[in-house]
Structure 1
């Protein structure tokens, strides 16, 4: 995030800077202090302190005893409304994904250090994978999470995941940060991610990113490994990418 050009009208500058602060708070895994906000956004410390104070007064930010700031409840309410709207509008795309693949389709959004499912369309099969709307899942062991991680700068990924071993969900989970980093480079290059029984045994999932400004959103299909082989999962990618573009276009502008 960079400060607006100096020739911008003062009122617009203030809006831009306030939104920059909110985006910084939303993307930080831990609360941040005024000095860090000032440094990372190129703001005068007094300006950062004034804007943070205004955000706190309106409930868009909160601060702890150490005067470090995080997103407040007002921002969370807006986020919930945005997720509901996104999930509602994604219905046709998710149903098309089910029709194209025969498997359960999901839409997930990055929230903090987890992905949260905001919409789903179920597979017509009796044996199907179900992830209820509102469920939160890890980043490193899910296809929807790995797609989101692959779009981030390496430093941002490290801040979210930490430097130590990652929790093992199954024997197939990648738990070494260096190995995961190499894997995410491939995910970024190929434009999709596989969860190959890394989150749950017997379940395979493939996900692609949805191009939406300001949000990390993933579109995926999941199925039992007997039906969704690695080849079947990869064959679903072109349809998923087409549908992800349609969903992104419907929310642009």
Structure 2
């Protein structure tokens, strides 16, 4: 990749990761490059609508939501899934997510959450699918060879003391996921947080719906949340062209 393109993407990523406007000087320090170079990159990104300049610094531009909508369309994800997630969020009072597997990557495509998500998740690529409930559902549905390729690429580092870091131990858990049609993750990603996920298989690729909630809350009503997710999965499967939501690929 040409260095200028690489640095432009670094600038975009840095602004996206910030909690507020980022001044050009702060970006130059963060990226370790000259201020004139940063201004040149900022100008190009601003002209194309990827960034917007404010008195306090740079923020994401109005082109970004359009890119996200285009991405969702390419992933065959209509407005229906967001409506389903929002309804489940209101009904169960938990953060809900829709995730998929495509070409070796696991990604969260949509979510309905509070201002501060319980599990710390957001939309985008999930590099730790081996430790998330939605990731376990998607990995369980993969052929073993594809699953091992994913794990080799991602690694299995310990995120918390409870993270499973052995492919053999994970395989045992994934067999249970295939049999039961549900995956549960307890404090493998975030201490004090549990997640549950169920599959939404379709002809358009592997998908899952999941929820994250405080561990104490999960112990009280995990079964109820799971049934809410199954209802969401059943509805999602209809518009994704599958009526049997229990079908998973043997691995």
Look up the match of 2:43: none
Check 1:227–1:169 CA distance in 2 against 1; reply closer, same or farther (3 A cut).
Answer: same
Rounded to whole Å, the distance in 2 between the matches of 1:164 and 1:144 is 15
TM superposition shift of 1:213: 1.4
Secondary structure in structure 1 of the residue aligned to 2:131: coil
Q: Which residue of 1 aligns with 2:56?
A: none
Q: Which residue of 1 aligns with 2:91?
A: 100
Please give the per-residue CA displacement for 1:33-53, whole angstroms capped at 9, x wherever unaligned. xxxxxxxxxxxxxxxxxxxxx
- Name the CA shift for 1:127/1:151 in 2 (closer, same or farther; >3 Å): closer
Contact map agreement 1:83 1:118 (CA 8 A) in 2 = no
Correspondence 1:74-93 to 2 at 5 A = 80-82=71-73, 86=77, 88-93=79-84
The alpha-carbon distance between structure 1 residues 109 and 164, as it changes in their structure 2 partners (threshold 3 A), is: closer
RMSD (Å) for aligned C-alpha atoms: 3.0
Q: Is the 8 A contact 1:165 1:177 kept in 2?
A: no
Once the two structures are TM-superposed, the CA of residue 78 in structure 1 deviates from its matched residue by 11
TM-score by length of 2: 0.61
Q: Give unmatched runs, 5+ long, in structure 1.
A: 1-76
1:214 matched to which residue of 2?
204
Instruction: Classify 1:109/1:79 alpha carbon distance in 2 versus 1 (closer, same or farther; 3 Å).
Output: farther
Partner of 1:12: none
- Determine the structure 2 residue equivalent to 1:183: 173
Q: Deviations over 1:101-128 (max 9, x none)?
A: 210111111244442111111249x884
Task: Please state if 1:138 is matched with 2:128.
Answer: yes
Q: Distance in 2 between matches of 1:121 and 1:237?
A: 16
Partner of 1:154: 144
SS in 2 for 1:117: strand
Equivalences for residues 15-26 of structure 1 within 5 A: none
CA distance in 1: counterparts of 2:81 and 2:130, whole angstroms:
25
Native 8 Å contact 1:151 1:188 kept in 2 = yes
Aligned counterpart for 1:170 among listed residues 160, 163, 172? 160
Report the TM-score, using the length of structure 1 for normalisation.
0.61
**Which of 102-111 and 81-90 deviates more?**
81-90
Which of 225, 228, 233 matches 1:236?
Answer: 225
Structure 2 distance, partners of 1:138, 1:164, is 7
Q: Number of aligned residue pairs: give it.
A: 176
Secondary structure of 2:188's partner? Answer: coil
